[in-house]
Amino acid sequence: MDSRGNVAEEKNVSSKAIRKKVNNTVSIALKRYKIDSYVLLDLDKVLNDVYCSFRPVSADYNTRKELVKNLNAMAIDIYGNLEESSPVLEAYGSFVMDMYSSQSDLDVSINFGSGTSELSREKKLEILKRFAKKLRALQGEGHVKNVESIFTAKVPIVKFSDQGTGVECDLSVENKDGILNSQIVRIISHIDDRI
């Protein structure tokens, strides 16, 4: 049988057979390294407790959703209420992937329309400068803090922290790859809980 036949056979392996192989491998490892299975149960409990302690609560989710809503209101304040010229700010990253903690930052992309053409770096910097100027005005009013423009990075951003919630935000422009990757990982994580 050629290698194509072997590949076909491997694809036909059932999940039951895979589980059996995994269990056998675990059993061999436990014996080889003299690990008590009760220790693994304790470790599993500890890891699960740590995981649960970092999981965000609904208030963390609502805070970030409200922050994105406020940033969109700020965009209207900067650009006006005309649909064709006013950007839409969209979250991406760990928040969208549902892999964030209460201490995680919020990544937000400033998007103009659904066009496929790429904005030039200069145009992106101009957009970020407008947002940075508005954020610095809000900083003077006590609404945000630590406004920092990082324009020399490969992906230029404006960083700031929301004064009321303490959530750190990173603003970028037209970060389509980040948005798409976040949505793909979110879909995969809903299919398989192990993510």
Question: Does residue 89 share a domain with residue 107?
Answer: yes
Confidence class for position 35, pLDDT limits 50, 70, 90: confident
Question: Does residue 68 share a domain with residue 38?
Answer: no
Question: Does residue 91 share a domain with residue 28?
Answer: no
pTM, two decimals, is: 0.72
Report the CATH number that the domain containing residue 122 is assigned in CATH.
3.30.460.10
Mean pLDDT of the 87-112 span? 92
Question: Does residue 91 share a domain with residue 163?
Answer: yes
Measured distance CA(104)–CA(95) in Å, rounded: 8
Measured distance CA(106)–CA(13) in Å, rounded: 42
Share the mean pLDDT of the chain.
85
168-173 and 106-111 beta bridge pairing: parallel
Measured distance CA(184)–CA(99) in Å, rounded: 13
From the list 156, 136, 155, 153, the residue with the least C-alpha distance to 144 is: 136
Measured in degrees and rounded to the nearest 5, phi and psi for residue 117 equal -75, 140
Sign of CA dihedral 111, 116, 121, 123: negative
| Residue 108 or residue 85, greater confidence | 108
> pLDDT, tens digit, for every residue of 109-148?
999 876 667 889 999 999 999 999 999 999 999 999 999 9
Q: Which amino acid is at 47?
A: L
Question: Does residue 94 share a domain with residue 34?
Answer: no
Question: Does residue 68 share a domain with residue 32?
Answer: no
> pLDDT, tens digit, for every residue of 152-188?
999 999 999 999 999 999 999 999 999 999 999 989 8
| Residue 36 or residue 194, greater confidence | 36
Question: Does residue 70 share a domain with residue 159?
Answer: yes
Whole domain around residue 28: which residue ranges? Answer: 3-54
Measured distance CA(88)–CA(75) in Å, rounded: 7
Question: Does residue 128 share a domain with residue 76?
Answer: yes
Confidence class for position 4, pLDDT limits 50, 70, 90: very low
Question: Does residue 48 share a domain with residue 34?
Answer: yes
Select from 35, 54, 73 the last residue of a domain: 54
Q: How many domains does the chain contain in total?
A: 2
Question: Does residue 109 share a domain with residue 28?
Answer: no
Question: Does residue 168 share a domain with residue 118?
Answer: yes
Question: Does residue 158 share a domain with residue 176?
Answer: yes
Mean pLDDT of the 35-41 span? 76
